[in-house]
Amino acid sequence: MSIEQLNLMRNETERMIWKAINDGRVRVVFQPVVCAKSLKTISLEALVRIESETGEMISPMVFIPAAEQSGLIRTLGQEVFRKCCEFAVSLREQQCESPRIFVNLSAKQMQDSDLYHQLVSITESFDLKLSDFGFEITESSAMEDLQIALKLMEQLRSAGALFSLDDFGTGYASLSCLSDLPLDVVKLDRSFITGITDKPVSQVIVRAVVDIASHSHLTVTAEGVETKAQCQMVQDLNVTHIQGFYFSQPLSAADTLQWLSKS
């Protein structure tokens, strides 16, 4: 693909994102994260979608890179956070047990020196607190500018928010992240879970991460658990929390309310 074709494609995606924001076609779905022992839902991960003009849901893998590249991630991220706040309010109104909602932050968002104030002002406008939320970051997004990331994490954690290290194990310096960053949760990447029932090395890695995490007062979430056998294995390895299609796909706000009322 030529540079011109790449640029054209990126511009088309940027236009698509911008139009979706303006037309109100940004959607947020929620995936339950359950406690490995009690199987109760303990948190929700918010995942963005764009609804196309013809009604199909477009994956974030398609548009997050272009949103980052163009700077549209700032507006898109605010829209996602507002929708999470709206949902937190509806949970409160239903007097449902309110699990903490974790929101993904990408590298560009982490470097936005105004992000903390944006988040404070949105939560206050909904009469919510930052302690109702958690944020998921990746090793690369934190390491792009460690000082800025540390400042943001300290501000948000002082306000009661939690931090998860997403896709753990896929970066270059994963272990050093555990000591350098103020974290609460480590999310083991799905690549370790996929082969966990027949790859002894995956089991050894999961066991080691659980061991390190317990010494650092971190909880460990296994991402991408799809089968009963994988679920059993991560439970046996003392993972704290489990997320994956075995329990639930990401759900619309209405379906999440129903899920919570049943669980």
Query: What does the H/E/C string look like for 68-131?
Result: HHHCCHHHHHHHHHHHHHHHHHHHHHCCCCCCEEEEECCHHHHCCCCHHHHHHHHHHHCCCCHH
Query: 189: closest CA among 145, 251, 243?
Result: 243
65 binds ligand C2E (CB under 6 A): no
> Min. distance of Cβ 204 from ligand C2E in angstroms?
22
Site string for ligand C2E, 45-64 (x = CB under 6 A): -xxx----------xxx--x
CA–CA dist 250, 28 (Å, integer): 9
SS3 percent helix, strand, coil of the chain, rounded to 5, is: 50, 20, 30
Site string for Mg ion, 77-106 (x = CB under 5 A): ---------------------------x--
Span 137-166, contacts to ligand C2E by CB under 6 A: 166
221 binds, among ligand C2E, Mg ion, none (CB under 5 to 8 A by kind): none
Span 139-178, contacts to Mg ion by CB under 5 A: 166-167
> Min. distance of Cβ 47 from ligand C2E in angstroms?
4
Residue nearest to ligand C2E (CB): 244
Counting residues that bind Mg ion (by CB under 5 A) gives 5
250 binds ligand C2E (CB under 6 A): yes
Span 180-219, contacts to ligand C2E by CB under 6 A: 190
Counting residues that bind ligand C2E (by CB under 6 A) gives 23
Q: Which two tokens stand for residue 229?
A: 């056998």
CA–CA dist 97, 83 (Å, integer): 18
Choose one: 6-14, 112-120, 237-245, 251-259; the region binding ligand C2E (CB under 6 A): 237-245
Query: 61: closest CA among 13, 108, 20, 24?
Result: 13
